[in-house]
Structure 1
């Protein structure tokens, strides 16, 4: 997938291991790097396996991937047109671009 970031702070945490360690701790920062590698190599969010990936709820545009100690990466689809299923929910199998919104406690 193509991955972008909602703001500079999120981008720096995702790209700078030292900043990630200071912000979210050692174990979570290691998992963050691993989950990001998974995201870059996946074709869609449905190819993600580790971190209990799932939409926040059926109608939500927000998808989550768990990190250490209750932290999670939250992201949104970033395709120009968001593919939808007949029930109106996001067709995550056809999402090829995402935007990481935040890393937060869930």
Structure 2
């Protein structure tokens, strides 16, 4: 899949191991690297298996999360234009091939 980033700060966390370890800790930075490799290797979101992949609800409706470590999550949104949708209007994750990483953290806080 193609991976985009919401902003420069998130891109740096994802691309620079030292920055990720400083902010997230070694274990979480390692998981982040694994999840990014899985995203790159997958053709579409529905192929993801590691990290408890799941669509989000509420104020994060339309986004998808992968677990990292210690309650932290990697959250992304579809970046296909137009966004693939199901007949009910929800995101058709089986057709999403471009994602934008929106958030890395614990959204439950």
What range describes the TM-score normalised by the shorter chain of this pair? over 0.9
Q: Match for residue 19 of structure 2?
A: 19
Whether 1:84 aligns to 2:79 is no
- Gaps spanning 5+ residues in structure 1: where? none
Q: Residue 18 of structure 1: CA displacement?
A: 0.4
SS of equivalent residue, structure 1 residue 68: coil
Residues 40-91 of structure 1: CA distance to partner in whole angstroms, max 9, x if unpaired? Answer: 0101111111110110039921100000000000100000101111111100
Whether 1:6 aligns to 2:20 is no
SS of equivalent residue, structure 2 residue 30: helix
Q: Distance in 2 between matches of 1:96 and 1:12?
A: 22
Q: Match for residue 45 of structure 1?
A: 45
Please provide the CA RMSD for this pair.
1.4
Q: Distance in 1 between matches of 2:41 and 2:96?
A: 13
What is the aligned residue count? 106
Q: Distance in 2 between matches of 1:67 and 1:76?
A: 17
